[in-house]
Amino acid sequence: MQSIIKAVALAALLATASTAAFAEASVRVGGAPMYASKNIIENAVNSKDHTTLVAAVKAAGLVDALSGPGPFTVFAPTNAAFAALPAGTVDTLLKPENKGMLTKILTAHVIAGKYSDADLIAKAKETADKGGFTLKTLSGDRLQFTMSGGVLYVVDESGTSSRITVSDVNQSNGVIHVVEKVLVPK
């Protein structure tokens, strides 16, 4: 009887652990499961849609910073977003002599603090009569958040408007929101 009780208890424990692991990895980005127990870098390196972003973060020397405690809110452009830039832009930015410019662009995608999609939408709706609201990025630039047709947009200082395509990808040190365009500071 004792062994049956232990077996049932073990089965229940394994089922709970499997359910928790499944729930944690239920968000997928670039075909890869994203785990809330991993940090931004640990998850981003697995997304096939963010290989350019990961290469840029490495070239800029930002791996340690984005692996740190945060919390951070990252607006992560996809490979397609980088490919939409003028020809040669990414190659130029990845050159060692352009590290400062690359760092500025990448940190213009990061806000200190953790802002969920619901947080951003609520504030954008609340300030809609003023054209939305702004948050300061780690680069010192500002991102504006506006609503249009029930959709949240992020607007950079250059006027580029980007839709968030995947939101609330929770990380151990913040949250990632996937965006369809590269946000460019002035």
pLDDT above 80 for 29: no
Of residues 39 and 175, more confidence is placed in 175
- CA quadruple 24, 162, 30, 173: dihedral positive or negative? negative
Of residues 60 and 16, more confidence is placed in 60
As a three-state string, the secondary structure of 38-96 is CCHHHHHCCCHHHHHHHHHHHHHCCHHHHHCCCCEEEEEECHHHHHCCCCCHHHHHCCH
Instruction: Say if CB 175 and CB 39 are below 8 A apart.
Output: no
For the chain, give the mean pLDDT.
Answer: 83
Confidence class for position 183, pLDDT limits 50, 70, 90: very high
Confidence class for position 47, pLDDT limits 50, 70, 90: confident
φ, ψ dihedrals at 45, nearest 5°: -65, -15
Confidence class for position 69, pLDDT limits 50, 70, 90: confident
pLDDT in tens, 101-155: 999 999 999 999 999 999 999 999 888 888 889 999 999 999 999 998 889 999 9
Q: Give me the mean pLDDT over the 95-104 stretch.
A: 93
Domains contained in the chain, CATH given: 28-179 (2.30.180.10)
Q: Please state the pTM of the whole predicted model.
A: 0.82
> Using CA atoms, how far apart are residues 97 and 75, in angstroms rounded to an integer?
25
pLDDT at 12: 46
Cα 16 from chain centroid (whole Å):
28
Confidence class for position 20, pLDDT limits 50, 70, 90: very low
pLDDT at 111: 95
